[in-house]
Amino acid sequence: MLLTLFAFILALGLLVTFHELGHYWVARRAGVPIVRFSVGFGPVLLRRHDRHGTEWALSAIPLGGYVKMLDEAPPGADEATRRVVFNAQPLIRRVAVVTAGPAANLALAALIYAFLSLWGTQEPAAVLAAPPVGTPAAQSGVREGDMLTAVAGEPVASWTQARWRLAEPLSLGGDVILTLRSPDGTVRTDTLRLAPQAVTPDGPDPLLGAGLSLRAPYPVVGELVPGGAAERAGLRVGDRILVVGGLEDPSVEAFVETVESHAGQPLALVVLRQADRLSLSVTPRPEAVKNGLEVGRIGALIQAERPQVLVRLGPLDSLWQGVRRTADMSLFTLRMMGRMVAGEASWKNVTGPVTIAEYAGRTARIGLESYLGFLALISISIGVLNLLPIPMLDGGHLLFYLIEALRGGRPLPERARELGQRLGLGIVLGLMVLALFNDFARLFR
């Protein structure tokens, strides 16, 4: 619980503060006076003033931050001050300042993705299981052991990348060209014909619905019981089971079932030890279980492992991959929002702080790479959400500026802006209520 809370506060505080730094950086270069930059909200715990007169504050509630610019000149201000306040800036500068916040979030996401690509990540190889009969994958010709190497002509180095490339086609439907390499090395292309699928946070995995899943993990010897049947047979920690009793490439479940059904009977094994194939024979020890039945035991902990690949790119390729993935995710988010408005996707996809906190804690437990990927995803969400043309958000200000430009530089009347702000506040509050409802519906169902 504490890890989840800490991971959530760190994520939200970092991403919102970075968003505000974008506004601050461009406003400072536009010459706009900055009254305060606060990390956190509420009562100020620490403060200092820089040479520009900006108050830098650390506040008590660590859920983001804010930047306060001098919007209007105070009474009695001199002409120089009146010219530099935010509302007196040329339209293009105001647009730049407002856009800088969401742009900072998108840039941060691109840098995180670039760092992960440059650092390198261990990801599951895209070796596919046999698709269920009647699924689109089965109809297209996908077979057990095929390795997915490209989606719609775009190379994929891992299952993670394959899932990413398939996310939009699975949602929208249509034909997708898969490039596959068979276990014998033959390369071919199959056409996957997909119907549009409803995607919800707690719904079934759309990949499974299409018949695409990873091949079952293979059994590997973990720990050995000293003096047990496995150790006496010559098995060693790290041996990968290739054959058991004539069954080739068994799953962990199939291996365990075969051992249990051969109590007291010699069982032929073929294992892979480093690069060598070894033939062994083990006789499972009979052990009584419930109902007087006997099952075989070999005295070994069998672990489930999948083939992994190291995905790593050079500096320029990493940066390009980061920018491209951020752009793809931003467009996908916008399309999903459009589908929800059109009634083609479930509003259950709107989630709030409870779900975000849950995923923050979950990814933090998995490791730094997963947590950084989570930060990038939420940063994109913040950036895209703030660009929506809803008053109260950055996109709402940009909408007002667009109207101002169309009116020949004349701002909207104050009354119209107030009505727009109220409408925007209603929309934002409605989305917040919906997000919290979805969060608690997930918790208590």
pLDDT tens, residue by residue, 372-390: 999 999 999 999 999 999 9
Residue 406 belongs to a domain: yes
What confidence category does residue 201 fall into, taking pLDDT thresholds of 50, 70 and 90? low
Predicted confidence band of residue 199 (pLDDT cuts 50, 70, 90)? low
| For residue 268, pLDDT beyond 90 | yes
Question: Of the residues 20, 154, 223, 248, which is catalytic?
Answer: 20
CA nearest neighbour of 18 among 113, 143, 111: 111
Predicted pLDDT at 383: 94
Which phi and psi angles does 198 have, rounded to 5°? Answer: -75, 125
Shared-domain flag, residues 245 and 318: no
Same structural domain, 354 and 407: yes
Cα–Cα distance for residue pair 325/333, rounded to 1 Å: 12
Whether the Cβ atoms of residue 129 and residue 216 lie closer than 8 Å to each other: yes
Query: Which CATH number do you get for residue 280?
Result: 2.30.42.10
Question: Tell me, what DSSP letter sits at residue 128?
Answer: B
d(CA 114, CA 107): 10
Of 9 and 343, the structure prediction assigns the larger pLDDT to: 9
Report, as an integer, the average pLDDT of 416-423: 89
pLDDT for position 240: 93
CA atoms within 13 A on the CB side of 33: 19
Q: Name residue 190's amino acid.
A: D
Give the integer Cα–Cα distance in Å for 342 and 339. Answer: 5
Q: Which of 279, 294, 311 is the last residue of a domain?
A: 311
Dmax over CA atoms of the chain, in Å, equals 99
168 as an active site residue: the answer is: no
Instruction: Judge if 116 and 126 occupy the same domain.
Output: no
pLDDT at residue 445, as a whole number: 63
- Tell me if 243 sits within 8 A of 254, measured CB to CB: no
262 lies in a domain?
yes
Q: Which of residues 253, 276, 304 is at a domain's end? A: 304
Same domain, 387 and 399: yes
Mean pLDDT of 274-282: 91
In a domain, 30, yes or no: no
> Which tokens in the block code for residue 350?
């709107």
Q: Which helix (H) or strand (E) holds 236?
A: none
Pairwise CA distance, residues 180 & 309, whole Å: 17
Pair (434, 334) in one structural domain:
yes
pLDDT band at 236 (very low <50, low <70, confident <90, very high): very high
Same domain for 257 and 148? no
Provide the pLDDT for residue 115: 95
Same domain, 436 and 335: yes
Q: Are residues 294 and 319 in the same domain?
A: no
Residue 327 phi, psi (nearest 5): -65, -45
Q: What is the pLDDT of residue 412?
A: 86
Question: What six digits make up the tokens of 437?
Answer: 């409802």
Strands 174-181 and 240-244: unpaired
Q: Which amino acid is present at 165?
A: R
Whether residue 65 is contained in a domain is answered as no
Planar angle of CA 167, 170, 172, nearest 5 degrees? 105
- Side-chain half-sphere exposure of 214, counting CA atoms within 13 A: 18
- Whether 133 is in a domain gets the answer yes
What's the confidence (pLDDT) of residue 216?
A: 85
Share above pLDDT 70 across residues of the chain, in percent, rounded to a whole number:
98
**pLDDT recorded at residue 203:** 62
What pLDDT digit, counting tens, does each position of 139-160 carry?
Answer: 999 998 899 999 999 999 999 8
Does residue 233 lie within any of the structural domains?
yes
Query: Could you tell me what percent of the chain has a pLDDT over 90?
Result: 50
Rg of the chain's alpha carbons, rounded to an integer?
A: 29
Least confident residue range of 77-86, 337-346, 361-370: 337-346
Q: Do 370 and 387 fall within a single domain?
A: yes
Number of domains in the chain: 3
Q: Which of 281, 304, 327 is the last residue of a domain?
A: 304
Least confident of 82-96, 174-188, 264-278, 282-296: 282-296
pLDDT tens digits for 348-372?
777 777 778 888 888 888 888 889 9
What pLDDT sits at residue 136?
A: 92
| Residues 115 and 152 occupy one common structural domain | no
Q: What residue type is assigned to position 4 of the chain?
A: T
State the chain's mean pLDDT as an integer. Answer: 88
Asked whether residue 77 is domain-assigned, the answer is no
99 lies in a domain?
yes
Of the candidates 23, 133, 100, 131, the one whose C-alpha atom is nearest the C-alpha of residue 68 is: 23
Clarify whether residues 211 and 231 are in a common domain. Answer: no
Residue 20 pLDDT class (50, 70, 90 cuts) = very high
pLDDT greater than 60 at residue 311: yes
Structural domain range at position 235? 218-304
pLDDT band at 99 (very low <50, low <70, confident <90, very high): very high
Between CA 256 and CA 242 the distance in angstroms is 13
For range 10-21, the mean pLDDT: 90
Please report the pLDDT score of residue 396 as a whole number.
92
pLDDT greater than 80 at residue 4: yes
* Spatial separation of the C-alpha atoms in residues 155 and 178, rounded to whole Å: 10
Query: Do 343 and 375 belong together in one domain?
Result: yes
- In terms of DSSP bridges, do strands 121-124 and 308-311 run parallel, antiparallel, or are they unpaired? antiparallel
